[in-house]
Amino acid sequence: MTKPENEITWKDLEIGSIVTEPGNASQYKTGDWRSQRPTYDFNKCIKCGICSIFCPEGCVELNEEGYLEANLFYCKGCGICARECWTQAITMVDEEE
Amino acid sequence: MATKVGMEVSVAVGEVVKAVNTDVIAAYPITPQTHIVEHLAELVANGELDAEFIPVESEHSAMSACLGSAAAGARTFTATAGQGLELMHEVLYVASSMQLPIVMTVANRALSAPLSVWGDHSDAMAVRDTGWIQIFTENGQEVVDHVLYAFRIAEDRKVLLPVMIHLDGFNLSHMIEPVLLPEQSEVDQFLPPNQYPLPLDPNKPVTMGDFGPPIIYTEAKWAQEVNLRASKEVILRAWKEFGDIFGRHYSSVECYHREQAKVLLLTMGSFGETAMMAIDNMRKEGRDVGLLKLRLWRPFPFEEIRQAVKDTEVLIVLDRALSFGGPGGPVCSEIKAALYGEAKKPKIISFVGGLGGRTINVAGFEYIVNRGIEISQTGSEHEFEIFGVRE
């Protein structure tokens, strides 16, 4: 998309609202659906990757230190990673605003 | 020059679908549309029409297959009636909102229960808001002409919308009528090849029918509405070009003896033929009555209706469908809505009749006009009057 979605007018749409740019679902911010976000205690993390396997959004990525962390642009805050984490390294906290 | 042939109207529909070299037909047989798809199946089986005929398991599947076919850029046709149209219902919205130029003939049929295979407009009225261009036809020739015409407007780059051609079940679908079938050269002159601009193509992938969150849905729907309304310009221009080639001229609202008519009757579909005879009789008696035949149902021809009734004192609208618990016949309530804001407007009287194949003869139409005039003078406590019900 050339414009942010909140600036797209009806005139910008292709015929039949057809999407002509393949793969642009990655530009869709699902992170703002979230009411809770995962927080991490990397002292407990054993880098097993179970959180990334269970993540229904597929948004768990390796950070610079090699720990697994949800990409908050996509994370919907479902909490499945926190539920599944073997070492309870993940805690869900409420989004404040 | 085309020669006149005597042909069942459903068979003639098949012949036109063949003449436009349709690529895909996905349809399920249902009375009274069956002869249309039967004939097409025959043409494909005989090798007379080089098309894919997809014998689907339901009308829901028929319309779904049509979506895929039209999305691939194939010229696509289907036909249905009554319950079949209702089973297609949810997919009809998808066809129009994805702007897929599918052509469908509907042999109008009453809805169950009690089960009726006979004609009325209940099926058409139930799909009024599905976003399709919808045209009602009055006789065999109009059907033939409008099947060809439907492909032209559906596939027009400025339109790209599915088109429904309504023909009354049995009254039209099963009649053997004299019709002029178009010559191949005329078809080629009037109908350019289908060139859907964004077809499904592995080399240039597109996403159709994507999901539309609240931030974009309103824009998508408004674009659809603007497009459907704007299609009227193409609809009118294509009728003009059709007239230039074929010598038969059509309009959104056809007036019959509107001159000096203080009272106008409005009908849709095949009933217009009998109503004309009633108007002829009444004119012979010196009555100032006339007839309007509403051909273009969607997009609704607001301006033409306002223009047609500007000098009318009483407008009597006959619907062939009930809007249960509602404001009268669905056509009449739209006419009322179209005229509400006018400073000078006729008294509008709503009749419902001709349900489930019940015939209205010439005397019946004369009664409706006379009774309509009477109600316009005395008023009525009812929203509408039902014609011919046994008390």
Query: What residues of chain A lie within 8 A of the CB of B206, using their CB?
Result: 18-20, 22
Is B160 close to A8, i.e. CB distance below 8 A? Answer: no
Burial class (CB in 10 A: 0-12, 13-18, 19+), B199: middle
User: Coil, strand or helix: which one is B183?
Assistant: coil
Q: CB neighbours (10 Å) of residue B383? A: 15
**Domain coordinates in residue numbering, chain B:** 4-246, 253-386
Predicted local confidence at residue A97, as pLDDT: 61
Average pLDDT over residues B271-291: 97
Q: Do B160 and A15 count as a contact with CB atoms less than 8 A apart?
A: yes
pLDDT tens, residue by residue, B282-335: 999 999 999 999 999 999 999 999 999 999 999 999 999 999 999 889 999 999
For strand B76-80 and strand A90-94, is the pairing parallel, antiparallel, or unpaired?
unpaired
Q: What is the mean pLDDT of residues B7-12?
A: 98
Is B216 in Cβ contact with A8 (below 8 Å)?
Answer: yes
Q: Which amino acid is at A51?
A: C
Each residue of B149-186: pLDDT tens digit? 999 999 999 999 999 999 999 999 999 999 999 999 99
Question: For residue A22, what pLDDT band results from cuts at 50, 70 and 90?
Answer: confident
Query: Residue range B1-9: average pLDDT?
Result: 89
Contact flag A16-B216 (C-beta cutoff 8 Å): no
Is residue A2 scored above 70 in pLDDT? no
Residue-wise burial string across B7-25, b where 16 or more C-beta atoms lie within 10 A, e elsewhere: bbbbbbbbbbbbbbbbbbb
Extended beta strands in chain B, E state: 4-8, 24-27, 52-55, 76-80, 102-108, 133-136, 163-168, 176-180, 253-256, 263-267, 289-294, 296-298, 314-319, 347-352, 385-386
Q: Shortest Cα distance from A11 to chain B (angstroms)?
A: 7
**Cβ proximity of B12 and B141 under 8 Å:** no
Spatial neighbors of B220 by CB under 8 A, at least 6 apart, are A10, A13, A17, B97, B212
**DSSP code, position A15:** G
Q: What pLDDT is attached to residue B328?
A: 85
Q: What is the pLDDT of residues B230-270, one digit of tens each?
A: 999 999 999 999 999 999 999 999 999 988 899 999 999 99
* Minimal-distance CA residue of chain B relative to A19: B207
Count Cβ atoms within 10 A of the Cβ of residue A71 and give its class: 0-12 exposed, 13-18 middle, 19 or more buried: middle
Same fold across B4-246 and B253-386: yes
Compare CB distances from A16 to B208, B216, B226 and report the shortest one's residue.
Answer: B208
Task: Answer yes or no: are the C-beta atoms of B295 and B236 closer than 8 Å.
Answer: no
Mean pLDDT score, B35-43 = 98
Could you give the CA distance from residue B112 to residue B4 in angstroms, rounded to a whole number?
Answer: 38
pLDDT, position A96? 84
Return mean pLDDT, chain B.
97
Cβ distance A13 to B210 less than 8 Å, yes or no, reads no
The CATH class that applies to domain A30-94 reads alpha beta
Phi–psi pair at B272, nearest 5 degrees: -55, -35
Under a CB-based contact definition with an 8 Å cutoff, are residues B168 and B270 in contact?
yes
Q: Where are the domains of chain A?
A: 30-94
User: For residue B383, how far is the Cα from the chain centroid?
Assistant: 25
CB contact (8 A) between residue B210 and residue A19: yes
Give the residue numbers in B contacting A (CB under 8 Å), as ranges.
97-100, 160, 197-198, 205-208, 210, 212, 215-216, 218-220, 222-223, 226
Does residue A1 carry a pLDDT above 70?
no
* DSSP assignment string, B108-146: E-PPSSSP--S--SHHHHHTTTSS-EEEE--SHHHHHHH
Hey, what amino acid is at B151?
F
pLDDT band at B96 (very low <50, low <70, confident <90, very high): very high
Where residue B325 falls (left for φ over 0; alpha for ψ -120 to 50; beta otherwise) is left
Q: Which amino acid is at B238?
A: A
Interchain contact, B223 vs A17, CB within 8 Å: yes
Q: What is the chain B residue with the closest CA to A20?
A: B206
CATH of the domain spanning B4-246: 3.40.50.970
CATH of domain B253-386: 3.40.50.920
Cα–Cα dist A86/B358, whole Å = 74
CA A27 to chain centre: 12
Instruction: Give me the interface pTM, i.e. the ipTM.
Output: 0.89
B112-148 pLDDT, tens digit each: 999 999 999 999 999 999 999 999 999 999 999 999 9
Cα separation, B10 vs B23, in Å, equals 19
CB B56 within 8 A of CB B65: yes
Cα(B300)–Cα(B334) distance, integer angstroms = 9
Residue B376: Cβ within 10 Å count: 18
Q: What is the DSSP string of A17-46?
A: G-B-STTGGGGS--GGG-SEEEEE-TTT--
Q: List C-alpha distances in Å: B6 to B174, B244, B277.
A: 12, 24, 23
- Does the pLDDT value for residue B190 go beyond 90? yes
Q: Residue B352 above 80 pLDDT?
A: yes
